[in-house]
Structure 1
């Protein structure tokens, strides 16, 4: 039997039906995140030693009584069964053993499809009316106002087997500055509208509206692509990045995808004749890097990897101070990176790990300050004694450069947020430069410098890791034809260093 809780006393109905015992089990599939009346009602209608299973999005937290008095089993279940939200299961296809997990997400779906194919699942009695998809609001209004005996409506997508699928591309607005303008802006196609792109790169592109116009947004999530395109006033959005590659109006591709897709899409963009800004890392292995480097050398398109720290105003000031040095430098860099669970995407094959995916920033910074080729690499990792840490969570890496400079990185996930995340000390010619979190810069040993120089070199300001400056310099370099903001050999060196460090820490004991 079925009861409408808004019209019936469900507790009374259930107790009458079960001779005052209550039901054996209650399954909640409702959506009421702010309402705990549903969970309370479920506890009331369930018998002693019964079971309440929550599948829907409801407010949890039943009153202690009758939950406690009835000793009810209270379970939370994912929507499709075991395997849901398990990346190894859903993305890598690693199944659970049949003998131990009979009904997984996949097997549940298989059984449902079998029942459907045999005509054993019939929805006809549930459907009160059919609406075309474009009238979906009317369908919901119909259910809300009429409370039909058949409690569902059907939305018709008008799909037919002989009809071509809908386009993945949606036009949002009219074009911005056309190519024949006297001073055209660089039209940007963003591929990958994740949180970092939305929170950092798109706002920076808007700040640099004299250089850029946001032309197209691509994301695998169509709703996110459309929302992002509307907010950024892009011309169109798409779920297929090749739409942007084929767009002759697009000048520059901004790639902010999972790390394992960086080199692939960058290569395709370069071959399509687009300038490429790709977030770090350039690649996850030597093969990818070599193919990318070869493509860039052949196509000569402007390219920049997102090694932003060298573009920080702090790094720029430091570079000016050490520019005229006559001897090698020693750099000691600390990254108190913080803990990430092993399931975090950066720790998976898509991310490549924290050394290749994040520490590469610092290898580029070392290259920037020394302007020298690396000669020797020594890296050591703490062998994890438990499953909490991976080898590339906690390591040190030392470098000898051909100019004689020595650089050292301490990267750790074992620290605390109460301490600064990044610190750098540079020692040279009787002076020490200290940088903290790209907020505070102090220079010691400037007795022979004028007060005005000391004032310019020691200062505090809001954190600035160079994200805005890197985009600005890239746009300006494209417009004036001055080449890469970072020389290609330096981009490649920073990436190759990360590979060598990864190799050594993976085998360290």
Structure 2
């Protein structure tokens, strides 16, 4: 510390720190920075002892926080917990979306602070103004990183700053090289997006499908892509979408990224002549849906949206019973969705689109499937006039005169059951309780069937995509119908904004 410019240093184990500080400064410290890392609260006791009356104690590190009340009260000490880096830290608009604060009001944001730190560390004349060399105790080559971590966690050697070194190289990305197709492996699949949903729901089913091979997985983080490849048997992992979209050996693409990228990836896959299954939603607005439709018009591939509920066995049985009854249908869907954090990416209008575009779309498609008739008009009302819209009723008018009502709420208790489906047509009533019980009433009789496990249709959805891919089409679900339900979902937001019915 003395070599780096400290005017006085105190060994806490060798004497009274308060007396040492008083001897140096003539009084206590104006401010005390606690830069320790320990579960003990002793650093707070020491800070109180060496601080002057009405001084500041700033917690930079992470320690125990059971501070001595009497010492802090008598000196009227102020405690601040440093948020690190400066204004902008933990602000998703600043850090994630690139929105800047006005320079005239916030001169030193975390961006400027970090840039200034780097500037001070850069060599000038003989030496850098901020010399961190003395903090570095060890250097390891990058390929010896495991040895570095072993040294740190082993506790046998004193260390402070540990640096990993690597040789300078060409910063340009190497050209993509595609491995040869596997012989006799069936249609090759590429996955873009390897988040929790893809890993826990999609990939276990995809791995079991006959006639397809898992060729390439792409994720934003290369380590995640490689871990997914190793766990599920992909031949290749990458962080570049082109590894899937530009590979001539890949026939089918699964898109499981965040919502704002869906339409673009679908359009690019179609333009590359590939078929694609995209998780919902297909797009976040009419322009994105138009781009998908235009790409599909010129493509030999097809697209499918992850509206899995229309593939659920109980939903298919209910649809068949309604079709036999004939005539227009009256469909009721109640979804007790549960609350999610307002700060979730799903609630961000630009990235997730909100729960209407991201989740209610499932039920618009389900209502369309059960009603068996095109959606011609949409009317919606919500409990909130602005902000995240988690509680909404949607009425869909169908071309044959039928009606569907969707009641979607985040206000309920989830143990009460998430989804209730009820539909009526021509003297027939069907109801589905959370995909485990189907009840059918007709001709004065009621029959019921139960399932041992909840089946929302994921396996059947993926199997249908694989069969169509191997056979070269057609799409398992009418693509015009998928565009229709996607446009109807966008119209839900239009209806809420306009306060009226939206005709399609």
Is 1:62 equivalent to 2:66 in the alignment?
yes
CA apart distance, 1:142: 5.9
- Asked if the contact 1:379/1:504 (under 8 Å) is kept, the reply is yes
The equivalent of 1:301 in structure 2 is: 301
Q: Are the structure 2 counterparts of residues 423 and 11 from structure 1 closer, same or farther at C-alpha, using a change threshold of 3 Å? A: farther
Is 1:410 equivalent to 2:410 in the alignment?
no
Tell me the secondary structure at the aligned position of residue 118 of structure 2.
helix
Tell me the secondary structure at the aligned position of residue 46 of structure 2.
helix
- Asked if the contact 1:218/1:225 (under 8 Å) is kept, the reply is yes
The equivalent of 1:329 in structure 2 is: 329
CA apart distance, 1:336: 2.2
Is 1:204 equivalent to 2:202 in the alignment?
no
Per-residue CA deviations over 1:48-72 (Å, capped at 9, x if unaligned) read 755444445x465536657866765
Query: Whole-Å Cα distance in 2 between the matches of residues 259 and 308 of structure 1?
Result: 17
- Asked if the contact 2:269/2:275 (under 8 Å) is kept, the reply is yes
Is 1:157 equivalent to 2:161 in the alignment?
no
Q: Are the structure 2 counterparts of residues 292 and 228 from structure 1 closer, same or farther at C-alpha, using a change threshold of 3 Å? A: same
The equivalent of 1:190 in structure 2 is: 191
CA apart distance, 1:429: 2.6
Q: Are the structure 2 counterparts of residues 250 and 482 from structure 1 closer, same or farther at C-alpha, using a change threshold of 3 Å? A: closer
CA apart distance, 1:113: 3.1
- Asked if the contact 2:271/2:298 (under 8 Å) is kept, the reply is no
Is 1:44 equivalent to 2:49 in the alignment?
no
- Asked if the contact 1:336/1:416 (under 8 Å) is kept, the reply is yes
Q: Structure 2: which 5+ runs fail to align?
A: 4-10
Query: Whole-Å Cα distance in 2 between the matches of residues 419 and 74 of structure 1?
Result: 45
Query: Whole-Å Cα distance in 1 between the matches of residues 491 and 42 of structure 2?
Result: 58
What TM-score, normalized to structure 2?
A: 0.85
The equivalent of 2:6 in structure 1 is: none
The equivalent of 1:14 in structure 2 is: 17
* More off after superposition, 74-83 vs 39-48: 39-48
Query: Whole-Å Cα distance in 1 between the matches of residues 435 and 140 of structure 2?
Result: 57
Query: Whole-Å Cα distance in 2 between the matches of residues 30 and 165 of structure 1?
Result: 41
The equivalent of 2:466 in structure 1 is: 475
The equivalent of 1:366 in structure 2 is: 367
Query: Whole-Å Cα distance in 1 between the matches of residues 220 and 104 of structure 2?
Result: 36
Is 1:138 equivalent to 2:139 in the alignment?
no
Tell me the secondary structure at the aligned position of residue 416 of structure 2.
coil
* More off after superposition, 280-289 vs 429-438: 429-438
Query: Whole-Å Cα distance in 1 between the matches of residues 216 and 338 of structure 2?
Result: 35
CA apart distance, 1:327: 1.8
The equivalent of 1:493 in structure 2 is: 484
Q: Are the structure 2 counterparts of residues 22 and 396 from structure 1 closer, same or farther at C-alpha, using a change threshold of 3 Å? A: same
Query: Whole-Å Cα distance in 2 between the matches of residues 222 and 343 of structure 1?
Result: 26
Tell me the secondary structure at the aligned position of residue 133 of structure 2.
coil
Tell me the secondary structure at the aligned position of residue 94 of structure 2.
helix
Is 1:88 equivalent to 2:89 in the alignment?
no
Query: Whole-Å Cα distance in 1 between the matches of residues 70 and 249 of structure 2?
Result: 66
Per-residue CA deviations over 1:127-166 (Å, capped at 9, x if unaligned) read 3454321122334556754436xx4343222125xx2446
- Asked if the contact 1:254/1:276 (under 8 Å) is kept, the reply is yes
CA apart distance, 1:356: 1.5
Within a 5 Å distance, the mapping from 1:2-401 to structure 2 comes to: 9-10=12-13, 12=15, 14-19=17-22, 25-27=31-33, 36-37=39-40, 39-46=41-48, 47=51, 50-56=55-61, 58=62, 61-62=65-66, 72-98=77-103, 100-117=105-122, 118=124, 119-140=128-149, 145-147=156-158, 151-160=160-169, 163-165=170-172, 167=174, 178-181=181-184, 184-206=185-207, 208-348=208-348, 349-384=350-385, 389-390=387-388, 392-401=389-398
What TM-score, normalized to structure 1?
A: 0.84
The equivalent of 2:8 in structure 1 is: none
Query: Whole-Å Cα distance in 2 between the matches of residues 2 and 24 of structure 1?
Result: 20
Q: Are the structure 2 counterparts of residues 266 and 128 from structure 1 closer, same or farther at C-alpha, using a change threshold of 3 Å? A: same
Query: Whole-Å Cα distance in 2 between the matches of residues 340 and 168 of structure 1?
Result: 42
Query: Whole-Å Cα distance in 1 between the matches of residues 67 and 175 of structure 2?
Result: 48
Query: Whole-Å Cα distance in 2 between the matches of residues 71 and 168 of structure 1?
Result: 63
